[in-house]
Amino acid sequence: MQQHPYRWVIVAVGGLMGCVAMGAMFSLPVLLTPMTEATGWSRTGISGAMTIGFLSMALTSMVWGALSDRFGARPVVMTGAALFALSLWLAGHAPSLLLFQLFFGVMVGGAVAAFFAPMMATVTGWFETQRSLAVSLVSAGIGLAPVTMSPLAAWLVSSHDWRTVLSILSVIVAVTTIPLAFFLRRPPVSTPHPSDEIDAPPAAMSVRAAVTSVPFVVLVLTNFFCCATHSGPIFHTVSYAEICGITAIAAVSIYSVEGIAGMFGRIGFGVAGDRFGAKRVLVAGLLAQAFGALAYFFARDLGEFYAVAAVFGFIYAGIMPLYAVLLRENFPMRIMGTLMGGTGMAGALGMALGPTLGGWIFDVTGSYGGLYLTSFGLGLGAFLIAMTFRPFPPRTLDEELRTA
């Protein structure tokens, strides 16, 4: 397939939308302390909204992905963007913790899922070469959120209450993501030569056969434990640093260091995935991520937090795009949105575990130490599961046509 230059427009659009969407959702860790002080709501209750959000993402990811397979990414992402902006505005006006959990958890989580499976499926469809780099660049845009949206939220909350901050973020989401969605296009149809190897099972493979296959199940389980490993440290690091005596602005800067390192990690792991293979790089990264999470257990001063954040951010952000690459290498493009939604569902379930787990551990023990030890164990689990992944054997187009 001739590589159309418009594919890089798709990458840029995906990165920008992901940055705004994920940044707006992850404004909650920055707002956690001000919200607790202003409302009297518990940290566990507020953190629970993020957990509910990831559960909602999990429940809706395959739906949004299947819709994008049928109608294309543009209408799906545009609808999700509008719902996301509305949900943020409603969350900012919630009069009770229960309604906040409904608006920020159920609605925000369900809406933001519309960005990721459709977007990643579209990007992988535009690339036959440099696929790891392409999805890593989209993910790098998402990684800019801690460097852009999180400092913006911290700056806004220094002069506005948390409700106003969420209202402002809802406007930012609406005026950026909805227009950007107009640039999305379906990927061109690939026409490989009959002698070309196709690193996927037959194109006629059904969704049921795909989601029950061993490679897909292994990727789903790996992604769950992977995301469960880093979700707690991501969400609670700002609060942990403040408890260690670091000022709020400095604590948010730790989050930014993690985000900057993650941007370089996504690109670095993407280049490595193209060169050495996505599975090999993923397995090595998962092992390194487990020890990165454990390192937070020993951090106390700002310099130590910066060092751990740089390493941890580089690793966890770098490995995440590789799941999309492995899916595209092993399954038909025709159902890619649905399958991306499936791994996204597993990742969202894993992400849902960390915020509430960390809040519960802190409320019970008065410390975040147990969270980082638990994250280390989850990280080792992800590494061991990933070791069992076996890709489908390559096929030629002639073989595929004979078995279709």
Apex CA 80: angle with CA 349 and CA 185, to 5°? 110
Instruction: Note the pLDDT tens digit of each residue in 59-95.
Output: 898 899 889 888 888 999 999 999 999 999 999 999 9
Residue 58, in any domain of the structure: yes
Residue 199, in any domain of the structure: no
Helix (H, G, I), strand (E, B) or coil at 73: helix
Least confident of 60-69, 146-155, 313-322, 383-392: 146-155
Calpha distance 266→275 (Å, rounded): 14
pLDDT at residue 401, as a whole number: 40
Residue 403, in any domain of the structure: no
Least confident of 153-162, 257-266, 268-277, 393-402: 393-402
Helix (H, G, I), strand (E, B) or coil at 192: coil
Instruction: Note the pLDDT tens digit of each residue in 193-203.
Output: 444 444 455 56
Residue 330, in any domain of the structure: yes
* Contacts with 90 (C-beta within 8 Å, 6 or more apart), sequence order: 103, 107
Residues across the chain: 404
pLDDT at residue 203, as a whole number: 60
pLDDT at residue 202, as a whole number: 56
Calpha distance 362→369 (Å, rounded): 8
Please give the average per-residue pLDDT across 132-146, as a whole number: 78
Calpha distance 322→124 (Å, rounded): 11
pLDDT at residue 399, as a whole number: 47
Classify residue 99 by its DSSP letter: H
Residue 364: CB atoms within 10 A of its CB come to 10
pLDDT at residue 189, as a whole number: 65
Domain range for 220 is: 7-184+206-389
CATH of the domain at 137: 1.20.1250.20
Calpha distance 128→119 (Å, rounded): 16
Calpha distance 46→37 (Å, rounded): 12
Going by C-alpha positions, the residue among 107, 118, 88, 116 that lies closest to residue 27 is: 88
Instruction: Note the pLDDT tens digit of each residue in 22-52.
Output: 889 888 888 888 999 899 888 888 888 887 8
- Is-contact 24 149, C-beta < 8 A? yes
pLDDT at 231 over 60: yes
Residue 1, in any domain of the structure: no
Least confident of 127-136, 232-241, 361-370, 371-380: 127-136
Task: Report the Cα–Cα distance between both ends of the chain, in Å, rounded.
Answer: 21
- Is-contact 371 233, C-beta < 8 A? yes
To which residue do tokens 């740089």 refer?
310
Please give the average per-residue pLDDT across 261-281, as a whole number: 88
Please give the average per-residue pLDDT across 276-296, as a whole number: 94
Residue 142, in any domain of the structure: yes
pLDDT at residue 396, as a whole number: 45
pLDDT at residue 146, as a whole number: 67
Residue 398, in any domain of the structure: no
Calpha distance 337→357 (Å, rounded): 30
pLDDT at residue 134, as a whole number: 84
pLDDT at residue 163, as a whole number: 94
Residue 321, in any domain of the structure: yes
Q: What is the 3-state secondary structure (H, E, C) of 179-205?
A: HHHCCCCCCCCCCCCCCCEECCCCCCC
Please give the average per-residue pLDDT across 132-151, as a whole number: 78
Q: What are the tokens at 131?
A: 């696929």
Helix (H, G, I), strand (E, B) or coil at 348: helix
pLDDT at residue 393, as a whole number: 66
Phi, psi (rounded to 5 degrees) for 164: -65, -40
* pLDDT band per the 50, 70, 90 thresholds, residue 1: very low
- Number of domains composing the chain: 1
Mean pLDDT across the chain, nearest whole number?
86
